[in-house]
Structure 1
């Protein structure tokens, strides 16, 4: 049975309510981690979310047959039909381990067929960089057209990370930047990140793109883009 990953970003204090709603709708639970948001000084928002410094990011693996009802429950619980409350999006999961009672290992089939006319397609750019370099990624993404990003924190163990202190191996801290972007802008944003964060040099970091299946919580952006596409179509005709 195919699974998908529901990723939800909400303001601090909302994760418990969102997880409860997802469980009532059919999910078995989720994993919550802390992060912080970034936005341009002009907007003071990331995808319409008012920029409180701390964010809660919830990862929930769900059977695709239950995805829509869980997504609807999460949107309702987090009031994400209103600007500034949060964002939730769905990513394909190619393989799953550790929850075999839920999902059989499989390669997902093409979901949803051809995109409908005027549909807005999104990608998620995941950038993993050394500590204090996340702002370079955020600045580059904004300059290329993104509205901001969400920064998480972790640690890395790579072939270029051999630093030691008194003979003790040090695993450098990492910053992970999640950037949800209109697919038409993905290439420009990714190239901007590579250039500004110097990801073409060894040991500087890595960035990769994940295809987003569904998105909720950014209706103001979706409506604006659809309107612009419709206007362009009328002008061309």
Structure 2
């Protein structure tokens, strides 16, 4: 096992090419791109000054993930921040997380030596957390709207297919579609618990088969404060003023709201968990996820990602389309799952799997002592 830093950059789709070309110029390999959308409150006016028909507005977004040694974290993040002008609200965000590479196909490499030009230091927040909420397809907007109305930050929604809990519900599974939406939100750690409570209530996660929400740590990064499409009527809009105050005070603690003072229900959360992420060649995700679930994983959400080529040699030996399976498991289950995937050929040339994990601070989902099959 090796420790590394995963850097996630969520940017408007129109900027993806500029970002990947910049990363290629630094000779970074193993670039993965996942497609999704951001949601903002549609508070502007529509045609002829009429109120817009939909409460949310959407923008296509792509989440670019790279894996580097910790020594490269600061300079690389600063380079991306300045190259893409991420200080401007709405252009995108960048965050880093600690991960553990459990096992990988030999083609996967953690970047440890790069020729990165001297960078102007960039200021990143360190008091952040990330929350992910997996819900049924079509219910993501309600969850996204909760975070926007709370003024947390702009959520990113991606899509996948779920498995595990649904398969254990007998005939009840007919009423639960396998298609899932994954809402990811990076925000101040001071209000994260209150927003998670909102997610649980809005998505009805205390009912069987409804989904899961979990919180994981962020090392450092930025947040997207452009939560509304409302046209600015002053010299500076609200998002620009918030960003300016963030820079002055050097953090986001000042944004702490009364959310944390609101009463929350007494819930039993799951702790001492990790998110186990499996990236593999297209078509292998379902098979390898099933093997993982047979060896300790309670469920999985399988999404699509793609591999960005950095050379002709890369193109010949690496398939562009990939599956990415996300599972919440106990750390004690990881060795057995890893061994089972290895025995199934997951790390050989055809599947080309990458298996890594990062800590989960707490999670919530429906739990029952026994679910009877009908």
| Bigger shift: residues 62-71 or 181-190 | 62-71
Q: CA RMSD in A?
A: 3.2
Aligned length: 206
Counterpart-to-counterpart distance in 1, 2:153 and 2:253:
19
| Counterpart mapping for 1:3-152 below 5 A | 3-25=4-26, 27-42=28-43, 53-98=59-104, 102=109, 121-152=127-158
Unaligned runs of 5+ in 1: 45-50, 104-118, 165-169, 233-237
User: Which position in structure 2 is the counterpart of 1:177?
Assistant: 183
Unaligned runs of 5+ in 2: 46-56, 111-124, 171-175, 226-239, 257-374
Q: 2:220 aligns with which of 214, 220, 227?
A: 214
Distance 1:52 1:14, change over 3 A: farther
TM-score norm. by structure 1 comes to 0.74
1:202 to 2:208 alignment:
yes
Q: Deviations over 1:78-136 (max 9, x none)?
A: 22132321111111113343166745xxxxxxxxxxxxxxx661111111111001012
Counterpart-to-counterpart distance in 1, 2:7 and 2:177:
29
The CA deviation at 1:213 is: 0.9
- Report the secondary structure of 2:101's partner residue: coil
The CA deviation at 1:209 is: 0.9
- Report the secondary structure of 2:205's partner residue: coil
- Report the secondary structure of 1:2's partner residue: strand
Distance 1:52 1:25, change over 3 A: farther
The CA deviation at 1:151 is: 0.6
TM-score norm. by structure 2 comes to 0.49
Is the contact made by 1:38 and 1:138 (CA closer than 8 Å) also made in structure 2? Answer: yes
